[in-house]
Amino acid sequence: MGAHAQAPTRETTLTLLLRQGEMSAADLAEQLGISVQAMRRHLRSLEDDGLVESKPMPVGPGRPSNLWCLTSRGRQHFPDGSEHFALGLLNSMAATLSPEAMASLLSQQALEKASRYRQRVGSGPLQDRIAALADLRRQEGYVTELSHDPDSKGWLLSEFHCSVQRIAEEYPAVCDQELQLIRHTFPDCRVERVHWRLEKGHSCGFRISPHHG
C-alpha cells in the first residue's frame, strides 16, 4: 500500500513544482493534504533521485525554511506521462468546480507565478528583464526565442515548443493564463498575443512593448 500511496504524491509534488516554480515543504503539504513531516520525507526521496533540490529561504528569527524546485532532471521527467496526470487532475477539478471557480483559480495562479517571475527578472532595463524571462521559460521546458520588434520598439517572445501544449489543447483557458502571466510580469508594458499554436500557428508568440517610447 505504501508504494501505491507514494507514487501519486511524488507525481503531484513534481507537477506542483513544475507549475509553481518554487514551493516550501509546508505549502506543498497543505496542497497535498498531508503532514509537513511526511512531505519532507517525500522531498528527501525525490532529492535522492536527483529530481528536486532545495535552497534556504530566510523567514525571520529561528532556523530558515527551504524552497524546493525541480532540477533539470526533474523537468525531463515530464514528457513521460505527466501530461496525462495533469490532465486527469484538471478533469477532476473541472468536474467539481464551476467554470468561474476554475477561471479564478487559474487567474490566481498567474498572479502568484508573475510575482515570482518579477523577483527573478529583477528591475533593470526592459531588454534585460525580457531576456531573463526567456531564460526562465527555457528552464521550464519551453523552446523560447527572443527577437527585437522594430515596429513596436519592443520584443517578440516566440515559443516553438510549449511544455503545456497537450493540456492547452483540452483546456484553452491555460493559454489565457499564460498571457495574463506575462502581462502581470511586465505591468509597464503592452503584451499582445501575435500567434498561437492552437490556431494552427507553428509557435506561440507574444509582443512585449513599452507603454511609452
Cβ–Cβ < 8 Å for 129, 186: yes
Tell me the CB-side half-sphere exposure of residue 53, using CA atoms within 13 A.
Answer: 8
CATH (residue range 2-80):
1.10.10.10
Q: What is the pLDDT of residue 183?
A: 95
pLDDT value for 2: 37
What is the reported pLDDT for 106? 84
3-state SS track over the chain: CHHHHHHHHHHHHHHHHHHHCCEEHHHHHHHHCCCHHHHHHHHHHHHHCCCEEEEEECCCCCCCEEEEEECHHHHHCHHHCHHHHHHHHHHHHHHHCCHHHHHHHHHHHHHHHHHHHHHHHCCCCHHHHHHHHHHHHHHCCCEEEEEEECCCCEEEEEEEECCCHHHHHHCCHHHHHHHHHHHHHCCCEEEEEEECHHHCCCCEEEEEEECCC
pLDDT tens digits along 132-178: 999 998 888 777 889 988 877 899 998 876 667 777 777 887 888 88
- pLDDT score, position 42: 92
What's the confidence (pLDDT) of residue 145? Answer: 87
pLDDT recorded at residue 199: 57
Residue 191, strand partner residues = 208
Gap between the Cα atoms of 11 and 3, Å rounded: 13
What pLDDT score was predicted for residue 125?
92
User: pTM of whole model > 0.85?
Assistant: no
Please state, in angstroms and rounded to a whole number, the distance separating the CA atoms of residues 68 and 37. Answer: 15
Q: Domain map of the chain by residue range? A: 2-80, 99-210
pLDDT score, position 202: 53
pLDDT of residue 3: 39
* Predicted pLDDT at 134: 93
172 contacts 198 by C-beta, under 8 angstroms: yes
State what percent of residues in the chain have pLDDT above 70. 84
| Domains 2-80 and 99-210 belong to one CATH topology | no
pLDDT recorded at residue 208: 95
Q: Can you give the pLDDT at residue 59?
A: 60
Q: Mean pLDDT of residues grouped by 10 in the chain (213 residues)?
A: 52 83 89 90 92 78 74 72 72 85 86 92 93 90 84 84 72 84 94 73 80 66
Q: What pLDDT is attached to residue 197?
A: 60
- Please tell me the CATH superfamily of domain 99-210, with its number: Trafficking protein particle complex subunit 3 (3.30.1380.20)
